[in-house]
Amino acid sequence: MSKYWNRKINEAEPYVAGEQPKPGQRVIKLNTNENPYPPSPRVREALESFDIDDLRLYPDTNATEFIEAVAKVEGVKASQVFAGNGSDEVLALCFQTFFEKESNTDLPVLTPEFSYSFYPVFEKFYDIRSKKIPLREGLSIDPSDYVGVPNCGIAIANPNAPTSRALTLKDIERILDGNPDSVVIIDEAYVEFEDNYETAVSLLPKYPNLCVVRTMSKSYSLAGLRVGYAIASEELIEGLKRARDSFNSYPTDRLAQKLAASAVSDTSYHRECIDRIRTTRRYTEEALRELGFDCPESSANFIFAKPPYGIDAETLYKNLRMQGILVRYFKTEGINDRLRISIGTMEEMMEFVDRVREEVSNAKGS
Ligand SMILES: *Cc1c(COP(=O)(O)O)cnc(C)c1O
């Protein structure tokens, strides 16, 4: 609290990011869903050929080189792509552009009860009413829970975080069909990690109210560059540009635009990293199940696992942390019996499994 802050800042409940280790500290970092592999070699080439003198000039507002690269890969028009400073910024602009403020309407934004923890932060900060829709059996989302519920918008991460469960395109269509007057945000931060991945981008010709949000942070190994994007109808993209230009017209810098474009163009390297992560995910899921964990089938680059009977998730999190292995533990009731474990390299996950095995046998022996 401070007398110099306004009411809104005094009352804000900011997002709490996963812990970042100090420079030089050796840890196995499985707590923020970063990619364990380096970005595409094309990113280094783009960096080496970057002309520092160009930094004298403001960047292109629309990040044209980058959005054209995205449009080409996704089979959409560049006018259907909007780039921002990480998808967190894109999502923040979406909430401000498409959802109603409390003063104008009583209608809430619908989000899954357990989902990306930035959504409730945005809702509070932008004074938007919210309604949390409970998850079903096995942490799944039932699309019918999002139909017939009055709302001013819907935001769903697909695959969902931290649950790692995915909706099918049919499920998403049911939600879109049931809510033609609301914008439906499908946050696809992890979509490429699904085994037979189906992006909602293919639904765009049918649904002007669909806004797909993506990030360069996870599957492209560029969390440090801060580039995210939305793919939607031109009508929605136009709205996002109005919001952007009322706040910061240059959300992505020249270097970020160039490097992100080079990463998007390297589709084969992208595939290769994703395949490796999927293989390692399968190994980790099987190993944890063998140790008695409840581990729903993951469609993401992390798993959301519940330790076997007699082992407390928080204690396991702390014990692993003492041994230099960081995973994510949420104190939130309803999911405080699980750990979210990002998929690292095979070597990292083998070491992780060894440490967990020791913890399990220690707990059983005591
Ligand atoms: C990681 C993540 C993001 C944020 O990505 P940035 O582009 O790094 O801001 C958005 N949504 C979900 C569900 C995420 O897990």
The whole-number pLDDT of residue 365 equals: 76
Pairing of strands 109-112, 339-342: unpaired
Is the minimum distance from the CB of 217 to ligand 1 under 6 angstroms?
yes
Could you tell me if residue 2 is inside a domain? no
Q: Are residues 98 and 203 in the same domain?
A: yes
Q: From 183, 188, 181, select the one nearest 215 (Cα to Cα).
A: 188
**Strand order across the 184-187 sheet:** 81-84, 228-232, 210-215, 184-187, 153-157, 109-112, 130-133
Confidence grade of residue 24 (pLDDT, cut at 50, 70, 90): confident
| pLDDT, tens only, 32-90 | 999 999 999 999 999 999 999 999 999 999 999 999 999 999 999 999 999 999 999 99
Confidence grade of residue 26 (pLDDT, cut at 50, 70, 90): confident
Atom of ligand 1 nearest to the CA of 157: 13
Is the minimum distance from the CB of 239 to ligand 1 under 6 angstroms?
no
Question: Going by CA atoms, what residue is nearest to atom 2 of ligand 1?
Answer: 189
Structure tokens of 186? 């499908």
Is the minimum distance from the CB of 187 to ligand 1 under 6 angstroms?
yes
Region 162-181 average pLDDT: 97
Region 246-257 average pLDDT: 97
Single out the residue in 250, 265, 280 at which a domain terminates: 265
Structure tokens of 194? 């699904």
**Domain range holding 31?**
7-38+268-365
Question: Going by CA atoms, what residue is nearest to atom 14 of ligand 1?
Answer: 189
The whole-number pLDDT of residue 102 equals: 64
Strands (E), the chain: 28-30, 81-84, 109-112, 130-133, 153-157, 184-187, 210-215, 228-232, 302-305, 325-329, 339-342
Q: Are residues 280 and 257 in the same domain?
A: no
Atom of ligand 1 nearest to the CA of 160: 13
Indicate which CATH number applies to the domain containing 349: 3.90.1150.10
The whole-number pLDDT of residue 244 equals: 98
Could you tell me if residue 201 is inside a domain? yes
Is the minimum distance from the CB of 116 to ligand 1 under 6 angstroms?
yes
Indicate which CATH number applies to the domain containing 141: 3.40.640.10
Single out the residue in 243, 265, 287 at which a domain terminates: 265
Q: Are residues 206 and 323 in the same domain?
A: no
Torsion, Cα 274 280 284 287, to 10 degrees, reads 150
Question: Going by CA atoms, what residue is nearest to atom 12 of ligand 1?
Answer: 189
Question: Going by CA atoms, what residue is nearest to atom 1 of ligand 1?
Answer: 189
Single out the residue in 199, 233, 265 at which a domain terminates: 265
Average pLDDT over the chain, rounded to an integer: 96
Coil, helix or strand at residue 292: coil
Is the minimum distance from the CB of 157 to ligand 1 under 6 angstroms?
yes
CA–centroid distance, 359 to ligand 1, in Å, is 31
Structure tokens of 67? 């959005």
Is the minimum distance from the CB of 223 to ligand 1 under 6 angstroms?
yes
**What residues form DSSP beta bridges with 30?**
327
Region 350-363 average pLDDT: 95
**What residues form DSSP beta bridges with 156?**
186
CA–centroid distance, 76 to ligand 1, in Å, is 22
Between the alpha carbon of residue 306 and those of residues 193, 249, 292, 340, the distances in Å are 21, 44, 9, 9
Is the minimum distance from the CB of 262 to ligand 1 under 6 angstroms?
no
The whole-number pLDDT of residue 250 equals: 97
Q: Are residues 72 and 208 in the same domain?
A: yes
CA–centroid distance, 215 to ligand 1, in Å, is 6
Among 153-157, 267-271, 310-314, 360-364, where is mean pLDDT lowest?
360-364
Q: Are residues 52 and 152 in the same domain?
A: yes
Q: Are residues 332 and 310 in the same domain?
A: yes
Residue 180's CB is within 10 A of a number of other CB atoms, namely 10
Q: Are residues 226 and 351 in the same domain?
A: no
Q: Are residues 132 and 190 in the same domain?
A: yes
Residue 207's CB is within 10 A of a number of other CB atoms, namely 20
Q: Are residues 339 and 319 in the same domain?
A: yes
Is the minimum distance from the CB of 161 to ligand 1 under 6 angstroms?
yes
How many domains does the chain fold into? 2
- In the predicted structure, residue 107 carries a pLDDT above the cut 70: yes
Q: Are residues 206 and 276 in the same domain?
A: no
Is the minimum distance from the CB of 293 to ligand 1 under 6 angstroms?
no
Is the minimum distance from the CB of 115 to ligand 1 under 6 angstroms?
no
Q: Are residues 165 and 152 in the same domain?
A: yes
Question: Going by CA atoms, what residue is nearest to atom 11 of ligand 1?
Answer: 189
Could you tell me if residue 211 is inside a domain? yes
In what helix (H) or strand (E) does residue 274 lie, and over which residues does it extend?
Answer: helix 267-290
Q: Are residues 45 and 93 in the same domain?
A: yes
Atom of ligand 1 nearest to the CA of 218: 1
Could you tell me if residue 120 is inside a domain? yes
Atom of ligand 1 nearest to the CA of 33: 1
